[in-house]
Structure 1
Amino acid sequence: MKLHEGGVYLVNGTELIPEGPEAAAQISAKTGAAVSKEEAAKNTIAYGILKDHNTSGNMDKLKIKFDKLTSHDITFVGIIQTARASGLEKFPIPYVLTNCHNSLCAVGGTINEDDHMFGLTCAKKYGGVYVPPHQAVIHQFAREMLAGGGKMILGSDSHTRYGALGTMAMGEGGPELVKQLLSQTYDINMPGVVGVYMTGEPQHGVGPQDIALAIIGAVFANGYVKNKVMEFVGPGVSNLSADYRIGVDVMTTETTCLSSIWRTDEKIKEFYDIHGRSEDYKELNPGNVAYYDGMIEINLSEIKPMIAMPFHPSNVYTIEELNANLMDILDDCEKRALVSLDGAVDFTLKDKVRNGKLYVDQGIIAGCAGGGYENICDAADILRGTSIGPDEFTLSVYPASTPVYMELVRNGAVADLLETGAIVKTAFCGPCFGAGDTPSNNGLSIRHSTRNFPNREGSKLQNGQIASVALMDARSIAATAANKGYLTSAADMDTEYTKPAYHFDKTIYENRVFDSKGVADPSVEIKFGPNIKDWPQMSALPQNMVLKVVSEIHDPVTTTDELIPSGETSSYRSNPLGLAEFTLSRKDPAYVGKAKEVQKAQKAIEEGNCPLEALPELKPVMDTVRKTFPDAGEGNLGVGSTIFAVKPGDGSAREQAASCQKVLGGWANIANEYATKRYRSNLINWGMLPFLIEEGDLPFANGDYLFIPEIRKAVEEKASDITAYVVKGDHLEEFHLKMGELTDDEREIILKGCLINYNRVN
């Protein structure tokens, strides 16, 4: 794999010419025409799709309107509640509500099904589509029923990626979907486009997860594709089936790219034909000369079976390398655990080594990444006639949709898997986010799923429980299962893959999915379960602000799972105050109490009372502030909390990573950089200031109070540099913050306190 340092031209889809003084002459010699860099940049597939969906008339400042929206049951309640508060009367474009996350009653009671009934009645009232639990995971339903060549889809799940089918899709926090529901736009600068030039074809036993992990390992840490579009081109693309491309594509989220798109061909046309949607196919190719801001060259023939060790998809090795250097790599995992787990529990994988081999406790093939038809067929071929054994090792397989499941039943793959001792379950995303199949304490699970962050397998550090996940392809998981848990590469298995044809049967969808066909019925009464709560009132941005630092995180990257845990907390997603109790619970258990204590002062201000009485420790702080700013106080002051993290926001699109902080009185984040565009957008949409501070020694520490004078004026006047002060006893120490570029609408959202206030219909 090669990463080019600068821009690259792709000529006739088959030849790469690096940007440089000789590039123009080389291109002219091959094409007979001169093409400027600016014109060539317009010849990418991504540019054409973005242009077709841009409403601003300015391709540098995009205002995108999407063709379709999709959400699952962790996010759609909050999204619709926010839109309802802003006057929603009808879904203006197709909006699909799937139920693939809250499918288990993790906390008992009626909470989960109450959310589902909320979704069904909203689909009826506002004119949407409702997919019942266990029918399909969000992304598989989108592939089967929503994607279309040249289209754009916005989803409230970070793995919203349908580029292999010619659809540019993006995963964002819920407020961005709210904007689309209110006929507003998705506003971004024109993103860079990085080419992924594929040659060769995969080796025997190498699956899509292997290709994906190799890419993630090459580009995550260096930010090569961060907030850019990955465009897959080159002759190697044609050597991959549609299912294979989909399996690579869905994992591009873990590179931190903005979106993805692939060139399409007869294999993608066949996919649409099989699904009865031939009219949705569109051939997509870059122009004769296309310019890319970067280029990743991949020889598919050189990729070997891979494994991503805990605790990140970028912590990758070939399985061959792991087995050859086992103890050294396990030692490195222990060192990473000291950072990721903060020493909360003892962690080791060295006790998994038996006779020089790594033994794993569990295998999972599931979700939008692993649950595809070809992955499971190939796994069944490897396992046919074997046994997973009667010991600790278990294997669970989750087909990504009921149509996939039905075809696996019909072709005998399910029977082959069940005979080995494996369990085949219904479509469910739980193994991807920590709400199912949790191993025993100290267990190691190998999974063809999307993430292996801490607690993604369901353990609870705060209770002294720890298990961990390594990501692998379904084929190598099956090979490991055939060896009863001893880590094995599929390349070592002499398996003849049968590659049975796929036949899509949408009968189950016709029988069970509610589709309004876009027709709203205002007479429908929405069903509200007792756990479904409205968002609390949120104040506008004050003129001056006092912030207390209530958490300080120095990990290189902070995931959204650490900001608000996934897993069992998902059942509380419809209750803002209930969910907020879990904020940072696995990273900083003291955070919630500290934030609530500071919030007392702001609540006092909002109620017309004295904040100094509600929060006595604030009095000496204000005494110091007023020495320099005597007018700071009554009528022009806000009090809240903030956290510092080096690089927060990697991972999920869940808006709750930001909204829970806001519900607890958070006014800002301070970071050296934000891991993803979507997390920064979530902060902004919840009225939180996305402060940036230069990397280096921090001028403040956890527990310090900060004073930011004229912050409202700074936002209004688009100040690039914001003067702030640390309150140090009887004096103030000056330091400086930035916020990065904000659109006019984003500034107005922050000024009004949140997107709800910005759109609220009184």
Structure 2
Amino acid sequence: MIKLYDGGVYLLNGSELVVDDNQAFAAIKQKTGKEIDKSEAKKGTIAYGILKSHNTSDNMEKLQIKFDKLTSHDITYVGIIQTARASGLEKFPIPYVLTNCHNSLCAVGGTINEDDHVFGLSCAKRYGGIYVPPHQAVIHQFAREMLAGGGKMILGSDSHTRYGALGCMAMGEGGPELVKQLLSQTYDINMPKVIGIYLKGELRKGVGAQDVALAIIGKVFANGYVNNKVMEFVGPGVASLSADTRIGIDVMTTETTCLSSIWKTDEKIKEFYEIHKREEDYKELNPADITYYDGMVEIDLSEISPMIAMPFHPSNTYTIDEVNANAYDILKDCEEKAKISFGENIDFSLTDKIRDGKVYVEQGIIAGCAGGGYENICDAADILDGADIGADEFTLSVYPASMPIYMELVKNGAAAKIMAAGGVMKTAFCGPCFGAGDTPANNALSIRHSTRNFPNREGSKVQNGQIASVALMDARSIAATAANKGFLTSALDIDTNFTKPKYFFDSTIYEKRVFDSKSVADKNTQVKFGPNIKDWPEMVALTDNLLIKIVSEIHDPVTTTDELIPSGETSSYRSNPLGLAEFALSRKDPLYVGRAKEVQKAEKAREKGESPEEAYGEIKEIMENVTKSFKDANWTNTGIGSSIFAVKPGDGSAREQAASCQKVLGGWANIANEYATKRYRSNLINWGMLPFVIEKGDLPFKNGDYIFIPSVKESIQKKNQDIKAYVVGKELKEFYLTLGELTDDERDIILKGCLINYNRV
């Protein structure tokens, strides 16, 4: 079904694969009559061409990218604009779209969510942006419909910023990277490796985009095959996929931890742009006649079966048939894995979902940037036509990804089919993807065509003894399960005549409701601040030495950003840095905030010129032990802060708050064996936190230990890779940390304490 190649692979004429081995040059010459140069063949990827056209440096190995457009939603844009304002923002230099699809219910926190929306509209007017009101479109669907363009690049402050199927390279990053673009700075990365995703064959009827995506994620996540690389979709199988199917596969590439994605384009993508009245934005994209890829994933689409990603990760994949055939063993295995994250104290069960030998689920959701597409919902409606989801626990909710899609579903009768079966139609909203809508009952199992199924991301609260879980599936199999009244069912088990109604896009909906400044800034507009919108607190520059206390130690194989800063109702406080920080690690380590704030007392006293030892008594003995060996260390040249250790933090969301919450609580570093994503590491750097790495193995420190890092400022300035550190006890125990590669700008940001300080004029 899916084959991973061990090394590089050449693609000839877009259709034939040649493995890069000792016979490759001769084989290619025989087939094409051409001598080849690997370095030139690497330039034949679609990705290389797009990156080159956006690179402002004179070195294609050290890219300095400027994007064409930016996009954010209402969990992230307030912090981004506040950071940019603090750095001297006068006008959005490129189109910047502010969508409202995360806090759009305004269900908790009083007025604060709608206050954020008013802030966003006023900023769109003041700085020359575009504002999409709540319920009109989820962030990525609006970008597909109105922003993406062939050969273009878009940066978004949401991890699922992926428009590669439309020929547009898009990346999801933390807010500070968008701030840099707003200040006409660059996105600096090394030239990424490019992995070919070679598609052949055709999907069987009833198999959908999510099935393909989950099959890929299950194959490449754990081994990091595409980690921080670009996935480039090529091969004859691409032509067999509709635009919507390609889009549905593409958006889920985020869950592989790749950097970005791009697809070859054709008449179907041209038609997509024509339907959306943007013919001029189409561009035909193909790899060169001889193209070299750093790796290759070969997929026979005809062998893809309906898939399910069991709790609690999109890579925990099986075919639905496998789960139904081995239900007890697979569900029991999920229960055992859950103990790693939740311990023994949470009463979590999946095996109780087996009823009369079949797996029963309590909820079905089709939603968001992955599930809410037109074809997904039309196919689901055809499966549900004449069906009855029953009057038991099972419920079904469907969220079209945009109001234009919703209107067309009403016009063609698809919405009526779903409602007649007992399903509920809702407006464009990302809530089910991050725990702000349709939270299941305690211990319930929800099947969702959405993006993630991390622990508690569906909205339950482990700290309150609640736990529910999500399995990811394609809309078609969710509809089949709904038609079977909640018993897990593959879409292949239901014979359906898919009507495939043509899509008609009505742009007047946006013309009537979306504010578009046409990039004209109105300096007379006053930015409107609600009472919850707060400025970032002052942050100090890096000191000569650092004394950090480990205040949380996490040994899970991977730690998600949702565990570092929970999603759900906490998102209402994301305009208030200090208010939101109170939730940091609350689902993973409830004691973290208190520990960090205790250490921060000492640092705040130090910054005021007062005695840290009076503010936090235990620091006195620690410093006495330090000065036995480092006599020049004192409270003038030694900063005090907190740090966490995690094996592999930062999987999942691009939300900068996973780092900024630690920073405003006095965090000065993370220590990890590795970082799950580039974007999380970048967030740490942009908030002035040191992204330390330590070799795998027994740690020289434990939770509660103090670590002294002498001459850390000098080490950053001298670009030292290895940083000497000491665990502080009666004796100092030496060990080494590393920092990995940093650009000169990144070093300067860390030295100055954060991106705001770096840009402040």
Letter in 1 for 2:290: V
Per the alignment, in what secondary structure is the counterpart of residue 592 of structure 1? Answer: helix
Answer whether contact 1:126 1:519 (CA < 8 A) is retained.
yes
What's the % identity of the aligned pairs? 78
Answer whether contact 2:251 2:369 (CA < 8 A) is retained.
yes
Letter in 1 for 2:6: E
Instruction: Report the CA distance between 1:29 and its aligned residue.
Output: 1.3
Answer whether contact 1:337 1:343 (CA < 8 A) is retained.
no
* Rounded Cα–Cα distance in structure 1 between residues aligned with 2:402 and 2:342: 34
* Rounded Cα–Cα distance in structure 2 between residues aligned with 1:414 and 1:394: 16
Answer whether contact 2:78 2:575 (CA < 8 A) is retained.
yes
Give TM-score, length-normalised by structure 1. Answer: 0.99
Alignment of 1:9-158 (within 5 A): 9-158=10-159
* Rounded Cα–Cα distance in structure 1 between residues aligned with 2:656 and 2:431: 19
Answer whether contact 2:14 2:234 (CA < 8 A) is retained.
yes
Alignment of 1:278-427 (within 5 A): 278-427=279-428
Instruction: Report the CA distance between 1:367 and its aligned residue.
Output: 0.1
Per the alignment, in what secondary structure is the counterpart of residue 613 of structure 2? Answer: helix
Alignment deviations for residues 454-475 of structure 1 (CA, whole Å, 9 cap, x no partner): 1111100011111100000000
Per the alignment, in what secondary structure is the counterpart of residue 41 of structure 2? Answer: helix
Instruction: Report the CA distance between 1:106 and its aligned residue.
Output: 3.5
- Give the corresponding residue for 2:219: 218
* Rounded Cα–Cα distance in structure 1 between residues aligned with 2:658 and 2:107: 20
Per the alignment, in what secondary structure is the counterpart of residue 43 of structure 1? Answer: coil
Confirm whether residue 242 of structure 1 aligns to residue 240 of structure 2: no
Per the alignment, in what secondary structure is the counterpart of residue 436 of structure 2? Answer: coil
- Give the corresponding residue for 1:195: 196
Per the alignment, in what secondary structure is the counterpart of residue 286 of structure 2? Answer: coil
- Give the corresponding residue for 2:448: 447
Per the alignment, in what secondary structure is the counterpart of residue 510 of structure 2? Answer: helix
Per the alignment, in what secondary structure is the counterpart of residue 644 of structure 1? Answer: strand
Per the alignment, in what secondary structure is the counterpart of residue 70 of structure 1? Answer: strand
Alignment deviations for residues 688-737 of structure 1 (CA, whole Å, 9 cap, x no partner): 00000000000000000000000000000000110000012x11000000
Confirm whether residue 737 of structure 1 aligns to residue 728 of structure 2: no
Q: Which moved more, 1:102-111 or 1:601-610?
A: 102-111
- Give the corresponding residue for 2:547: 546
- Give the corresponding residue for 2:499: 498
Letter in 2 for 1:491: L
Per the alignment, in what secondary structure is the counterpart of residue 708 of structure 2? Answer: strand
Answer whether contact 1:106 1:571 (CA < 8 A) is retained.
no
* Rounded Cα–Cα distance in structure 2 between residues aligned with 1:321 and 1:386: 25
- Give the corresponding residue for 1:727: 728
- Give the corresponding residue for 1:471: 472
Confirm whether residue 637 of structure 1 aligns to residue 638 of structure 2: yes
Letter in 2 for 1:755: L
Letter in 1 for 2:14: G
Letter in 2 for 1:214: A
Q: Which moved more, 1:340-349 or 1:106-115?
A: 340-349
Per the alignment, in what secondary structure is the counterpart of residue 335 of structure 2? Answer: helix
Answer whether contact 2:348 2:443 (CA < 8 A) is retained.
yes
* Rounded Cα–Cα distance in structure 2 between residues aligned with 1:102 and 1:561: 16
Answer whether contact 2:109 2:572 (CA < 8 A) is retained.
no
Per the alignment, in what secondary structure is the counterpart of residue 364 of structure 2? Answer: strand
Alignment deviations for residues 426-446 of structure 1 (CA, whole Å, 9 cap, x no partner): 000000000010111111000
- Give the corresponding residue for 1:669: 670
* Rounded Cα–Cα distance in structure 2 between residues aligned with 1:225 and 1:433: 24
Q: Which moved more, 1:602-611 or 1:260-269?
A: 602-611
Instruction: Report the CA distance between 1:490 and its aligned residue.
Output: 0.1
* Rounded Cα–Cα distance in structure 1 between residues aligned with 2:302 and 2:478: 21
Alignment deviations for residues 452-509 of structure 1 (CA, whole Å, 9 cap, x no partner): 0011111000111111000000000000000100000000000010000000001110
* Rounded Cα–Cα distance in structure 1 between residues aligned with 2:321 and 2:513: 45
* Rounded Cα–Cα distance in structure 2 between residues aligned with 1:753 and 1:10: 46
Per the alignment, in what secondary structure is the counterpart of residue 136 of structure 2? Answer: coil
Letter in 2 for 1:558: T
Confirm whether residue 487 of structure 1 aligns to residue 491 of structure 2: no
CA distance 1:271–1:757, change in 2 (3 Å): same
* Rounded Cα–Cα distance in structure 1 between residues aligned with 2:236 and 2:520: 44
- Give the corresponding residue for 1:172: 173
* Rounded Cα–Cα distance in structure 1 between residues aligned with 2:90 and 2:106: 31
Instruction: Report the CA distance between 1:634 and its aligned residue.
Output: 3.1
Letter in 2 for 1:745: D
Confirm whether residue 699 of structure 1 aligns to residue 700 of structure 2: yes
Which runs of 4 or more aligned residues in structure 1 lie more than 6 Å from their structure 2 counterparts after TM superposition?
none
Answer whether contact 1:156 1:653 (CA < 8 A) is retained.
yes
- Give the corresponding residue for 1:750: 750
Per the alignment, in what secondary structure is the counterpart of residue 438 of structure 2? Answer: coil
Instruction: Report the CA distance between 1:12 and its aligned residue.
Output: 0.7
* Rounded Cα–Cα distance in structure 1 between residues aligned with 2:420 and 2:701: 61
Alignment deviations for residues 273-316 of structure 1 (CA, whole Å, 9 cap, x no partner): 00000000000000000000000000000000000000000000
Confirm whether residue 531 of structure 1 aligns to residue 535 of structure 2: no
Letter in 2 for 1:271: F
Per the alignment, in what secondary structure is the counterpart of residue 549 of structure 1? Answer: strand
* Rounded Cα–Cα distance in structure 2 between residues aligned with 1:82 and 1:594: 27
Give TM-score, length-normalised by structure 2. Answer: 1.00
* Rounded Cα–Cα distance in structure 2 between residues aligned with 1:406 and 1:731: 70
Letter in 2 for 1:756: I
Answer whether contact 1:311 1:340 (CA < 8 A) is retained.
no
- Give the corresponding residue for 1:516: 517
Answer whether contact 1:10 1:17 (CA < 8 A) is retained.
yes
- Give the corresponding residue for 2:260: 259
Per the alignment, in what secondary structure is the counterpart of residue 204 of structure 2? Answer: coil
* Rounded Cα–Cα distance in structure 2 between residues aligned with 1:26 and 1:84: 58
Per the alignment, in what secondary structure is the counterpart of residue 188 of structure 2? Answer: strand
Instruction: Report the CA distance between 1:684 and its aligned residue.
Output: 0.1
- Give the corresponding residue for 1:590: 591
Aligned pair count reads 760
Per the alignment, in what secondary structure is the counterpart of residue 547 of structure 1? Answer: strand
Instruction: Report the CA distance between 1:340 and its aligned residue.
Output: 2.1
Alignment deviations for residues 499-555 of structure 1 (CA, whole Å, 9 cap, x no partner): 000000011100000000000000000110000000000010000000000000000
Confirm whether residue 208 of structure 1 aligns to residue 209 of structure 2: yes
Confirm whether residue 623 of structure 1 aligns to residue 624 of structure 2: yes
Per the alignment, in what secondary structure is the counterpart of residue 562 of structure 1? Answer: helix
Answer whether contact 2:556 2:646 (CA < 8 A) is retained.
yes
Instruction: Report the CA distance between 1:344 and its aligned residue.
Output: 4.1
* Rounded Cα–Cα distance in structure 1 between residues aligned with 2:344 and 2:263: 42
Answer whether contact 2:312 2:454 (CA < 8 A) is retained.
yes
Letter in 2 for 1:323: N
Per the alignment, in what secondary structure is the counterpart of residue 277 of structure 2? Answer: coil
Alignment deviations for residues 93-143 of structure 1 (CA, whole Å, 9 cap, x no partner): 000000000012242410100000000000000000000000000000000
Confirm whether residue 227 of structure 1 aligns to residue 228 of structure 2: yes
Per the alignment, in what secondary structure is the counterpart of residue 700 of structure 1? Answer: coil
Instruction: Report the CA distance between 1:35 and its aligned residue.
Output: 1.4
Per the alignment, in what secondary structure is the counterpart of residue 285 of structure 1? Answer: coil
Letter in 2 for 1:120: L
Structure 1: stretches of 5+ with no match in the other structure? none
Letter in 2 for 1:290: T
Structure 2: stretches of 5+ with no match in the other structure? none
Letter in 1 for 2:379: D
Instruction: Report the CA distance between 1:28 and its aligned residue.
Output: 1.2
Per the alignment, in what secondary structure is the counterpart of residue 561 of structure 1? Answer: helix
Q: Which moved more, 1:178-187 or 1:412-421?
A: 412-421
* Rounded Cα–Cα distance in structure 1 between residues aligned with 2:221 and 2:6: 15
Instruction: Report the CA distance between 1:385 and its aligned residue.
Output: 0.5
* Rounded Cα–Cα distance in structure 2 between residues aligned with 1:342 and 1:78: 34
